[in-house]
């Protein structure tokens, strides 16, 4: 069924009559900001921020975990939960299938793919784990490759899958000083140096330091050598501006609870049409067909309210527009990065090349490379300056602290990080 404006609005109404006004406004081209909203239009962005019922008891600069729901989305979710609780199996076993189909069409439209090419799951880790562990074309003596910037659970899945097949998992470290060119060259060299390489894991945006990897170019290098790519876009989807097929990979895992702003529990895998047979079905689906993408991730009973709220979250995002959103997030990021760039005793882990970052960027105070060191830094930021951040471990050169503004972040909140870090660097830098 082709998605139209009418079916999109019907989908919202069918899920409980929620957010119809927001959906209609988005479909009509009205917006809270859109392309006309400039990154430093504080009056305009204040209207966006007012849609988020978030605490101001602290400065929330750790928004890479999951995204807060805007008020219209929160209300849509509440009404869907009430409907599920009220109507229970009468709704779930009869009418809900229509609403699920419409929700899946909306998800597919946002991803730029066909509805039958996606399988829903609870989170990106679940979906990516299925793609990795059920990838068929790895056997004894083969190799698979991943990097220090990939998500921990996905690194573990690559290692476990390789061990179970008698294959070898090869880990590489990305350059400490990064450029578009040397990142591409790092993967080119790794591909050339690794015979019998069958599969590579790529992370579009690292949860460790926020790096936007030039995956399109790296995927092309891999495919030219017959290497399959599994791509993690959990952090980048709807923060960066792209559709999944543009990136070139055939197997992708993502979620809707970070930058789409849907409830926790809504995620998906995408397998390019004609490639599903490369991934074995879930053990719970032994008789699944070669083109059944959903059978690659067995759902069971899940939180249907999260999945059914995705259309409302997508409608709200349309009122802003991804290009305007990305420009705002980069603007907020630069408000703290640029004044601190070059400060002795402070290392900012990403360059200012906009191709390589969006909202998130991590820092490290000189000499503080352990997990414990960086937990201490996050504790001091919160206890002394009321700034919430998060430590990240696992990079080859040590742990760090990640800063991630969101759409509700005020400029003065990001600005507060600058004197706070100047103070902590002065007190804590070693060597």
Query: Does a structural domain hold residue 85?
Result: no
Do 289 and 331 lie in one domain? The reply is: no
Query: Does a structural domain hold residue 311?
Result: no
Query: Does a structural domain hold residue 168?
Result: yes
Other CB atoms within a 10 A radius of the CB of residue 182 amount to 12
Query: Does a structural domain hold residue 269?
Result: yes
Do 262 and 340 lie in one domain? The reply is: no
Query: Does a structural domain hold residue 2?
Result: no
Cα–Cα distance, 259 to 405 (Å, whole number): 12
Do 353 and 291 lie in one domain? The reply is: no
- Report pLDDT digits (tens) over 138-178: 999 999 999 999 999 999 999 999 999 999 999 999 999 99
Reported residue count of the chain is 431
Do 296 and 246 lie in one domain? The reply is: yes
Task: Catalogue the long-range contacts made by 345-349 (C-beta closer than 8 Å, 24 or more residues apart).
Answer: 345/425, 345/426, 345/429, 346/421, 346/425, 346/429, 349/209, 349/210, 349/395, 349/400
Of 252, 276, 303, which one is at a domain's C-terminal end? 303
Written as six digits, the tokens of 306 are 């999260």
Of 303, 334, 359, which one is at a domain's C-terminal end? 303
Residues 297 and 269: beta-carbon distance below 8 Å: yes
Query: Residue 24 has what pLDDT?
Result: 41
Do 132 and 200 lie in one domain? The reply is: yes
With cut-offs at 50, 70 and 90, classify the pLDDT of residue 55: very high
With cut-offs at 50, 70 and 90, classify the pLDDT of residue 36: confident
- Report pLDDT digits (tens) over 312-344: 999 999 999 999 999 999 999 999 999 999 999
362 has pLDDT over 90: yes
Cα–Cα distance, 204 to 240 (Å, whole number): 10
User: For position 148, which CATH number holds?
Assistant: 3.40.640.10
26 has pLDDT over 90: no
Query: Residue 431 has what pLDDT?
Result: 81
Query: Residue 32 has what pLDDT?
Result: 61
User: For position 344, which CATH number holds?
Assistant: 3.90.1150.10
Do 397 and 257 lie in one domain? The reply is: no
Query: Residue 215 has what pLDDT?
Result: 98
Cα–Cα distance, 124 to 166 (Å, whole number): 26
Do 414 and 380 lie in one domain? The reply is: yes
Give how many domains the chain has, as a whole number.
Answer: 2
Query: Does a structural domain hold residue 92?
Result: no
- Report pLDDT digits (tens) over 84-141: 999 999 999 999 999 999 999 999 999 999 999 999 999 999 999 999 999 999 999 9
Residues 92 and 29: beta-carbon distance below 8 Å: no
The DSSP output letter for 246 is G
Query: Residue 31 has what pLDDT?
Result: 53
Cα–Cα distance, 350 to 361 (Å, whole number): 6
- Report pLDDT digits (tens) over 199-242: 999 999 999 999 999 999 999 999 999 999 999 999 999 999 99
Element holding 184 (H helix, E strand): helix 180-193
Query: Does a structural domain hold residue 276?
Result: yes
pTM of the full predicted structure?
0.92
Cα–Cα distance, 177 to 61 (Å, whole number): 24
Query: Does a structural domain hold residue 89?
Result: no
Do 409 and 275 lie in one domain? The reply is: no
Do 171 and 268 lie in one domain? The reply is: yes
- Report pLDDT digits (tens) over 260-308: 999 999 999 999 999 999 999 999 999 999 999 999 999 999 999 999 9
Do 249 and 385 lie in one domain? The reply is: no
With cut-offs at 50, 70 and 90, classify the pLDDT of residue 10: very low
- Select from 308, 81, 18 the least CA-distant residue to 9: 18
What is the residue range of 398's domain? 322-428
Do 178 and 149 lie in one domain? The reply is: yes
């Amino acid at each position: 069924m082709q998605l139209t404006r009418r079916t999109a609005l019907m989908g919202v109404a069918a899920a409980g009559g929620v957010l119809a006004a927001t959906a209609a406004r988005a479909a009509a081209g009205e917006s809270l900001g859109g392309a006309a909203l400039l990154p430093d239009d504080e009056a305009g962005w204040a209207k966006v921020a007012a849609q988020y019922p978030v605490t101001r008891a602290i400065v929330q600069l750790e928004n890479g975990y999951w995204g807060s729901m805007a008020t219209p989305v929160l209300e849509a979710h509440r009404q869907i939960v009430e409907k599920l609780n009220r109507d229970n199996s009468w709704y779930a076993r009869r009418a809900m299938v229509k609403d699920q189909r419409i929700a899946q069409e909306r998800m597919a439209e946002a991803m730029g793919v066909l509805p039958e090419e996606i399988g829903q799951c609870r989170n990106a880790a679940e979906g990516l784990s299925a793609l990795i562990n059920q990838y068929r074309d790895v056997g004894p003596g083969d190799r698979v490759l991943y990097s220090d910037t990939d998500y921990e659970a996905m690194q573990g899945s690559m290692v476990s899958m390789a061990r179970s097949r008698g294959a070898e998992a090869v880990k590489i470290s990305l350059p400490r000083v990064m450029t578009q060119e040397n990142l591409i060259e790092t993967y080119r060299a790794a591909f050339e140096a690794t015979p019998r390489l069958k599969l590579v894991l790529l992370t579009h945006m690292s949860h460790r330091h926020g790096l936007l990897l030039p995956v399109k170019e790296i995927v092309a290098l891999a495919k030219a050598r017959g290497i399959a790519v599994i791509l993690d876009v959990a952090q980048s989807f709807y923060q960066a501006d792209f559709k999944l097929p543009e990136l070139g990979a055939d197997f992708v895992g993502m979620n809707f609870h970070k930058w789409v702003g849907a409830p926790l529990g809504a995620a998906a895998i995408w397998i390019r049409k004609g490639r599903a047979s490369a991934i074995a079905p879930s053990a719970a689906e032994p008789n699944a067909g070669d083109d059944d993408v959903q059978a690659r991730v067995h759902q069971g009973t899940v939180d249907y309210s999260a999945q059914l709220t995705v259309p409302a979250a997508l409608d709200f995002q349309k009122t802003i527009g991804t290009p305007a959103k990305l420009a705002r997030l980069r603007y907020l990021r630069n408000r703290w990065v640029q004044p601190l760039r070059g400060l002795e005793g402070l290392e900012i882990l990403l360059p200012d090349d906009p191709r390589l970052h969006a909202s998130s960027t991590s820092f490290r105070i000189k000499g503080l490379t352990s997990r414990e060191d960086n937990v201490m830094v996050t504790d001091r930021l919160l206890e002394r300056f009321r700034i919430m951040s998060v430590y990240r471990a696992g990079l080859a050169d040590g742990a760090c602290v990640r800063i991630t503004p969101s759409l509700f972040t005020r400029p003065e909140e990001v600005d507060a990080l600058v004197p706070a870090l100047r103070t902590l660097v002065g007190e804590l830098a070693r060597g």
